[in-house]
Amino acid sequence: MIVAASGGLSGVETGIRFTAADADAVDAAMRASGVDADDVLRWPGVPPMFAFRDPDGNGMEIVEQR
């Protein structure tokens, strides 16, 4: 979470989604590189996915494409 000088949160949920062949591998690589990334989420009938944030706090998602 990024806090702006005004005390409010910085960044927005962008609605941008990227696809990857292996969400777990991308999540692990991003975390190893220091990216603020969440755990991979799984629900029945839905592709694995996770959210991450850029250095300004803008949120995006990676969705596994099978």
User: What are the phi and psi torsion angles at 23 (to 5°)?
Assistant: -60, -40
Tens of pLDDT, residue by residue over 8-55, are 667 999 999 999 999 999 999 999 999 999 999 999 999 999 999 999
For residue 2, what pLDDT is reported? Answer: 55
Q: Output the CA–CA distances (angstroms, integers) from residue 42 to 6, 10, 16, 32, 57, in the order listed.
A: 36, 28, 19, 21, 24
What kind of architecture, by CATH, is found in domain 13-64? Roll (3.10)
Domain spans, the chain: 13-64
Looking at every residue in the chain, the average pLDDT score rounds to 91
For residue 10, what pLDDT is reported? Answer: 77
* pTM listed for this prediction: 0.83
